């Protein structure tokens, strides 16, 4: 199908574009920017006046819950929600049941995603068999079937020797490893950031040291093995400086931050509300501000939704007994735009962090509106106001502390591989 | 912030009793004054008043307790309420029933009040947000968060011996990190205007940034209790040794146990308190626990009057609203 996106402000950081212009799509690719190609008749003309046109967002690690936890979310529900949130590619985590540690599970996910009107899915394979942290997963087979990375998501490997071997093996195959920096002992009992608030409301704390010690350990092993790694959702200021030092030493590492961690802090955990329960935990105001600065300076590469949908029961209980995680796709864009509004980051840098950088980190053919590129496009209205409510959220998981919040900024159109998968005005 | 607006109704009266934090001073004084009137009930031949006749109180205990549950039960009975004791720790939740489901089942039995003890911080408030409009929740201890009736009976006991809160020095000694009692006591003492509140313990048992609650921090017992009017000793749980927070009960007693010799450092007329049950020879020497400065048993007696006061105030606020 031929699509013209007319009159929007096109922000394409990969090609240094920030201008009011038209985008022409033919088939699955972008065929022109600005001047209409000869004999081009648009079957679909999208009026983007007053709107932003940018490469579709790429989420590095979202929990889609299928197979195994369909009571929380399904591939279809979440890929739809992702598209409505401006995401065109979603990398799904291997912590399903069964775990994504065999080609069969990857095939199942691909099959379930086929025909879904939504974002494209890419699988992250398990780093160890069953995420058990003991036996290496068959990473070559996972790579062959299309896994874009490997990870022991949600269950950081305790045994340093196993981790070292896993990194070395992944590196042999040229696979990027997604790591979560957490010392398994310091983090074991805690449920929120250790500080004055955890002391006051009587919840067991996770010290910032749990993250920095985990990070330091992993960085040493990355230096030894030469593995390429990406750190998922760093949460504290100190971690950012460790990362900076490691890069100065020439380590090939990248890192992201979750959108909630740029907005919320431990003090927000009023009345033990389980919707604020997330891991890594919401940290201090100082940490949040440092994360914002690091993202703006591009020391943190990517911004993610840290999407973890849950069923209502998972959050229906006291904080410590609830499952951690926030459903992030639906509110991602307006929360990200609030950062621009607050002067914390430039809009072009934000698009870079949401689309360009994550594509680069996993070598995905995305994050660009260049000529001939796959047409993954997001069109949004930065001024559109709406309220997060059970009726407006598309994710099956309604677990968000932003429920009821007035939001500004909404995706109007999402195009995945030249196919219009989301259109708000329809 | 941590204000728990749901515990007060629109007229500022107590609807639930979940935490001491952010309650107005007048309300705490009202509870104490109320409790003062109820102390005489226990001295009568017929130890009953008809204030809660026809009301149903359910003691919902997700964690074992003898003392707290018994005094709540006695308090409810002296107010002429019907009382039901449910120890859930071994039953429903183990069978996979959720907290909300347990609650709905009990509510269907037309309960007026739940007295809740739970191992998770925030559980009573979670329940309070779920119950029907006419139903009240009293926190009988949640995780490390709060134990407001214990704190009120402690300040009640203090007031009987030392009525001038504005001149008091109070030391709380022991495992502050895991103590809901300590947290609630600190809030109560602060609100009532006690100028010098100290916490005393090894760094492993004092939580991060405890000074942000407005207390002085001491690691040396002799320094910490020097000149104080009230010494509150906390119970040391055996499992603290397993999680590498302390080497042994023996060493703890040597360093932080309250002995007659050490008690001499406090003011001459200092009182010694303990929320119980006490570990003799671990946090407190028998000679102190049974000595003339100890008010530990008075605390238990006062617990009934204070709980009667809280229960009648909470259900009274409904009666007036209805």
Domain range B148-295, CATH class = alpha beta
Domain ranges for chain A: 56-361
Mean pLDDT of A33-41: 94
ipTM of the complex: 0.90
Q: Model confidence over B216-225: pLDDT tens digits? A: 999 999 999 9
Q: Which residue of A has its CA nearest to B208?
A: A195
Q: Which chain A residue is nearest to residue B6, measuring alpha carbons?
A: A271
Structure-token pair, residue B131: 């119950």
Cβ <8 Å between B183 and A205:
no
What is the helix, strand, coil percentage profile of chain B, to 5? 45, 15, 40
pLDDT at B98: 73
pLDDT surpassing 70 at residue B318: no
What are the DSSP calls for A389-410, one per residue? Answer: -TTT--SS----TTTT-EEEEE
CB contact under 8 A, B208 and A198: yes
Separation in Å, CA A367 to CA A85, A359, A362: 15, 6, 11
Q: Under 8 Å CB-to-CB from A277, ≥6 apart: which residues?
A: A191, A192, A315, A319, A322, A323, A324, A325
pTM confidence score:
0.93
Shortest distance between the Cα of B298 and any Cα of chain A, in A, equals 28
B1 confidence band (pLDDT: 50, 70, 90) = very low
- Start-end of H helices in B10-98: 25-38, 67-78
**What distances in angstroms separate CA B290 from CA A170, B159, B226, B303, one per listed residue?**
67, 21, 21, 19
What Cα–Cα distance (Å) separates residue B303 from each residue in B7, B42, B140? 21, 12, 12
Rounded to whole angstroms, the Cα distance separating B46 from B52 reads: 16
For A76-110, write each residue's pLDDT tens digit: 999 999 999 999 999 999 999 999 999 999 999 99
The band of B239, judged by pLDDT with boundaries at 50, 70 and 90, is confident
CATH architecture of A56-361: Alpha-Beta Barrel (3.20)
CATH class of the B5-146+301-321 domain in this structure: alpha beta
Asked if A14 and A367 touch (Cβ cutoff 8 Å), the reply is yes
Q: Which two tokens stand for residue A92?
A: 């799904």
Alpha-carbon distance of B271 to B7, in angstroms, equals: 32
Interface mutation vs chain B, best among A283, A318, A320, A323, most B CBs within 10 Å: A318
Contact flag B208-A201 (C-beta cutoff 8 Å)? no
CB nearest to A271's CB, from B118, B125, B143: B125
Q: Identify the pLDDT of residue B3.
A: 47
Per residue in B22-59, pLDDT tens? 999 999 999 999 999 999 887 888 888 999 999 999 99
Nearest to residue B178, comparing CAs of B222, B212, B210, B223? B210
In chain B, list all ranges with CATH 3.40.50.1370.
5-146+301-321, 148-295
Mean pLDDT in residue range A258-279 = 96
- Weakest-pLDDT range from B126-130, B158-162, B313-317: B313-317
Q: What do you get for the CA distance between the two ends of chain B, in Å?
A: 30
């Amino acid at each position: 199908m031929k699509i013209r996106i007319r009159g929007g402000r096109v922000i394409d950081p990969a090609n240094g574009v920030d201008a009011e212009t038209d985008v022409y799509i033919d088939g699955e690719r972008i065929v022109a920017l600005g001047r209409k190609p000869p004999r081009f008749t648009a079957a679909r003309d999208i009026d983007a006046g007053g709107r932003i046109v940018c490469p579709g967002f790429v989420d590095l690690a979202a929990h889609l819950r299928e197979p195994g936890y369909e009571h929380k979310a399904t591939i279809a529900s979440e890929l739809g929600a992702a598209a409505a949130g401006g995401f065109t590619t979603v990398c799904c985590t291997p912590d399903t049941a069964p775990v994504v540690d065999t080609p069969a599970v990857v095939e199942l996910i691909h099959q379930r995603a086929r025909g879904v009107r939504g974002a494209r899915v890419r699988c992250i394979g398990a780093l160890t068999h069953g995420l058990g942290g003991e036996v290496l997963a068959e990473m070559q087979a996972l790579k062959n079937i299309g896994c874009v990375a490997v990870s022991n998501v949600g269950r950081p490997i305790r045994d340093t020797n196993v981790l070292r071997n896993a990194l070395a093996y992944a590196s042999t195959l040229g696979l990027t490893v997604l790591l979560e920096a957490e010392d398994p002992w310091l983090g074991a009992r805690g449920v929120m950031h250790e500080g004055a608030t955890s002391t006051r409301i009587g919840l067991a704390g996770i010290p910032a040291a749990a993250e920095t010690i985990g990070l330091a350990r992993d960085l040493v092993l990355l230096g030894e093995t030469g593995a390429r790694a990406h750190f998922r959702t760093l949460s504290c200021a100190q971690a950012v400086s460790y990362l900076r030092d490691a890069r100065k030493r020439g380590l090939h590492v990248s890192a992201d931050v979750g959108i909630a961690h740029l907005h919320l802090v431990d003090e927000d955990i009023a009345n033990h509300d389980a919707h604020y329960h997330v891991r890594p935990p919401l940290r201090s105001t100082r940490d949040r501000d440092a994360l914002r600065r690091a993202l703006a300076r591009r020391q943190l590469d990517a911004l993610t939704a840290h999407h973890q949908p849950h069923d209502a029961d998972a959050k229906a209980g006291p904080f410590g007994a609830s499952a951690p995680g926030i459903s992030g796709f639906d509110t991602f864009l307006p929360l990200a735009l609030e950062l621009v509004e607050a002067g914390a980051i430039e809009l072009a840098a934000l698009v870079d962090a949401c689309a360009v950088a994550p594509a680069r980190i996993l070598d995905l053919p995305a994050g660009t509106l260049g000529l001939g590129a796959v047409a993954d496009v997001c069109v949004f209205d930065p001024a559109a106001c709406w309220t997060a409510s059970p009726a407006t959220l598309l994710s099956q998981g309604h677990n968000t502390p932003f429920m009821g919040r007035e939001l500004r900024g909404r995706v109007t159109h999402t195009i995945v591989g030249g196919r219009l998968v989301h259109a708000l005005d329809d | 912030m941590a204000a728990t607006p749901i515990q007060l109704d629109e007229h500022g009266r107590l609807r639930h009793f979940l935490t001491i934090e952010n309650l107005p001073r007048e309300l705490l004084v009202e509870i104490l004054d109320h409790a003062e009137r109820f102390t005489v009930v226990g001295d009568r031949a017929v130890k009953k008043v008809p204030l809660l006749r026809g009301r149903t109180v359910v003691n919902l205990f997700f964690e074992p307790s003898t003392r707290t549950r018994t005094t709540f039960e006695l308090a409810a009975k002296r107010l002429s309420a019907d009382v039901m004791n449910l120890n859930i720790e071994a039953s429903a939740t183990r069978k996979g029933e959720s907290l909300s489901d347990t609650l709905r089942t009990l509510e269907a039995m037309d309960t007026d009040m739940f007295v809740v003890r739970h191992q998770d911080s925030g559980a009573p408030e979670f329940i309070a947000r779920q119950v029907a409009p006419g139903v009240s929740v009293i926190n009988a201890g949640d995780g490390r968060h709060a134990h407001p009736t214990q704190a009120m009976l402690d300040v009640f006991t203090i007031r009987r011996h030392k009525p001038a809160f504005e001149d008091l020095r109070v030391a709380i000694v022991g495992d502050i990190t895991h103590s809901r009692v300590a947290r609630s006591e600190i809030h109560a003492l602060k609100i009532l205007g006690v100028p010098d509140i100290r916490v005393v313990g090894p760094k492993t048992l004092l939580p991060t940034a405890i000074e942000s609650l407005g207390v002085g921090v001491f690691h040396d017992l002799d320094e910490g209790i020097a000149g104080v009017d009230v010494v509150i000793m906390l119970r040391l749980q055996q499992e603290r040794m397993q999680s590498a927070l302390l080497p042994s009960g023996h060493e703890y007693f040597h360093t932080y146990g309250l002995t007659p010799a050490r008690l001499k450092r406090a003011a001459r007329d200092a009182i010694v308190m303990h929320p119980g049950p006490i570990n003799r020879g671990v946090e407190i020497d028998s000679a102190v626990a049974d000595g003339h400065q100890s008010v530990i048993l008075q605390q238990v007696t006062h617990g009934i009057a204070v709980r009667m006061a809280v229960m009648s105030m909470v259900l009274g606020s409904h009666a007036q609203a209805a």
